[in-house]
Amino acid sequence: MSSLDPVLMSRILTAVTLFVHIVLATIGVGIPVMLALAEWRGIRTGDMHYTLLARRWARGYVITVAVGVVTGTAIGLQLSLLWPTFMRVAGKAIALPLFMETFAFFVEAIFLGIYLYTWDRFKSKYTHLLLLIPVAIGSSASAFFITSMNAFMNQPQGFEWVNGVFTNVNPFIAMMNPATPSKVAHVLASAYTTSAAALASIAAYSLLRGSKHVYFKKALKLTVISTFVFAIATITIGDFSGKFLAKFQPEKLAAMEWHFDTMTEAPLIYGGVLDENNDIKYALKIPYALSILAGNRPNTEVIGLNEFPEDERPPLMIHYFFDLKVTNGVLLVLIPLLYMFRRKLPGKKPYPKWLLIAILALGPSAMVAIWLGWFLAEIGRQPWIVRGYMKVAEAATTSPSVGWMLVLFILLYLVLTVSAVKVLSRLFRNKNAEEELKQLGWDEQGGRES
């Protein structure tokens, strides 16, 4: 009991920390790209509305970054506090990406500090914009390194396994394992999508509240179209991930799809429930789709769950995570499409209320998709912590105090989240964009600089 409990508690605490951190990390990776887009457009066209957009986003971004640094430090330390045996063993294989991540973080921290406090300090406007390049590279590189470490846990390689120890490690091969490319690409693309979608939600919210200024319409256009482009990229890369799973981690794909018997021409299952005999009921079956997902051809053979021993199968509930995630992904393409064809839709208003409400939903649905995607990836690896080598139960701490720490951290995250939301909303309400435009004298037709 005393050695089992900490395992479960450690899992929950890690999950809770990541649940909070991933929101901030995703925004941290994606927003610099959106900032660069807006500021660049502002400089190139001389339209100061875009410059103000970048400024206002940056102001809110500081808050999310600061809280993100806090939760990131927490998970960094918790890796060793909650999973000491894992870090001792796996650290010999994956220390390199973890170490390089801190450098990427360093670069991001340095240039973000400079970017935020030098809006009016350089003669050329491009100098300030160029500061965003190291910020974006730093945040994306840190996503790359951390994700490659996670990819190693899914697809370990580059070592010899002798008596429970990784020896003869090739750090570079371990880092560049087969799971790395598709995982990193998917993480980056989905982070860009989610950030664009969250900003689109904000613009839609302002318009819904009755703001008529052209500033908000420009914001809406920039963010919704970015969401569309990034979402298409995310879905395309997601398709590669499916093919990757079919080849390298078939038990995860099989559990995702409730695919029990190995077969060709495998159907894709959407929704449904399982009865006690593992028979699928009330599901939507799309013929051949799983085979096509796995190998682009209807006669691709897809390995079924029955090929794996029962104690090495992932939990079957990940099926729902996958279905919901894909649904959200599709919405992230469809809603922007509706926006782009809004003038061809019935009705005379260019910004009908229902469309704005749909756009408002983009941010939350993208965020939910991120959560679901991580639940899917992490729970789908169960019971392994390093797939094929180390099980979760062998890796956790034996400390009996994990339960109390769980309570402590839940309280901390509640306080952090509530204060961050409060401060963010106060920030935008206290100084609304229309007043700020007037103050800066950027309010002329077309937003030209005065």
Partner 1 sequence: MISYELIGISVLWLFLYGYLIVASIDFGAGFFAFYAKFTKKDHLINRLISRYLSPVWEITNVFFVFFFVGIIGFFPDTAYYYGSSLLVPASIGIVLIAIRGSFYAFENYGSKENIVFLFLYGATGLFIPASLSVALTLSEGGFIMEENGTVYLEYMNLLTSPLSWSIVGLAIVSVLFISGAFLTFYAARADDQPAVQLLRTYALFWSTPTIIAAFTAFIYLSQHNERHFNNMMDMWWLLALSVGFFMIALWLLYKGRRYGLAFISIMLQFACAFFAYGIGQYPYILDPYITIQDGATHESMGIALVAAFIGGLLLLIPSLILVFRLFLFDADYVRGKR
Instruction: List binders of partner 1 among 168-187 (CB under 8 A).
Output: 168-172
Instruction: List binders of partner 1 among 415-434 (CB under 8 A).
Output: 416, 419-420, 423, 426-427
Judged by CB under 8 A, the residue of 334, 408, 414, 421 near partner 1 is 408
Judged by CB under 8 A, the residue of 7, 23, 54, 65 near partner 1 is 65
How far, in Å, CA of 70 to CA of 286, rounded?
Answer: 45
Measured in degrees and rounded to the nearest 5, phi and psi for residue 263 equal -160, 165
Side-chain-facing half-sphere of 374: CA atoms under 13 Å: 22
How far, in Å, CA of 260 to CA of 319, rounded?
Answer: 13
Q: Kind and range of the H or E element at 176?
A: none
Instruction: Candidates 47-55, 110-118, 234-242, 291-299: pick the segment binding partner 1 (CB under 8 A).
Output: 110-118
Locus of tokens 């993100």: 68
Residue 9 or 366: the one with the smaller Cβ distance to partner 1 is 9
Q: How far is CA 285 from CA 269, 303, 315, in A?
A: 5, 18, 21
Locus of tokens 């260019």: 350
Q: How far is the CB of 79 from partner 1 (least distance, A)?
A: 8
Judged by CB under 8 A, the residue of 12, 16, 107, 410 near partner 1 is 107
Distant-in-sequence, close-in-space partners of 224: CB < 8 Å, separation ≥ 6: 196, 200, 203, 335, 336, 339, 340, 359, 362
Instruction: List binders of partner 1 among 210-269 (CB under 8 A).
Output: none
Instruction: List binders of partner 1 among 137-166 (CB under 8 A).
Output: 166
Q: How far is the CB of 93 from partner 1 (least distance, A)?
A: 8
Distant-in-sequence, close-in-space partners of 146: CB < 8 Å, separation ≥ 6: 97, 98, 101
- Is residue 398 a contact point for partner 1 (CB under 8 A)? yes
- Is residue 123 a contact point for partner 1 (CB under 8 A)? no
Residue 88 or 353: the one with the smaller Cβ distance to partner 1 is 88
How far, in Å, CA of 328 to CA of 209, rounded?
Answer: 25
Locus of tokens 């796995």: 294
Instruction: Candidates 241-249, 336-344, 348-356, 396-404: pick the segment binding partner 1 (CB under 8 A).
Output: 396-404
Residue 131 or 356: the one with the smaller Cβ distance to partner 1 is 131
- Is residue 401 a contact point for partner 1 (CB under 8 A)? yes
Instruction: Candidates 86-94, 183-191, 257-265, 327-335: pick the segment binding partner 1 (CB under 8 A).
Output: 86-94
Residue 76 or 364: the one with the smaller Cβ distance to partner 1 is 76
Does residue 281 sit in helix, strand or coil? Answer: strand
Residue 85 or 327: the one with the smaller Cβ distance to partner 1 is 85
- Is residue 100 a contact point for partner 1 (CB under 8 A)? yes
Judged by CB under 8 A, the residue of 34, 98, 191, 359 near partner 1 is 98
Residue 2 or 445: the one with the smaller Cβ distance to partner 1 is 2
Q: How far is the CB of 441 from partner 1 (least distance, A)?
A: 20
Binding mask 15-54 for partner 1 (x = CB under 8 A): ----------------------------------------
State the alpha helices, DSSP H only, in 298-430: 318-340, 353-360, 362-379, 392-395, 402-430
Between β-strands 160-162 and 390-391, what pairing exists: parallel, antiparallel or unpaired? unpaired
Residue 64 or 226: the one with the smaller Cβ distance to partner 1 is 64
- Is residue 403 a contact point for partner 1 (CB under 8 A)? no
What's the sign of the alpha-carbon dihedral 279, 282, 287, 289? negative
Count the Cβ atoms, other than its own, within 10 Å of residue 6: 20
Side-chain-facing half-sphere of 258: CA atoms under 13 Å: 23
Instruction: Candidates 29-37, 117-125, 211-219, 228-236: pick the segment binding partner 1 (CB under 8 A).
Output: 117-125
Judged by CB under 8 A, the residue of 63, 130, 208, 393 near partner 1 is 63
Measured in degrees and rounded to the nearest 5, phi and psi for residue 243 equal -65, -35
Judged by CB under 8 A, the residue of 66, 273, 317, 357 near partner 1 is 66
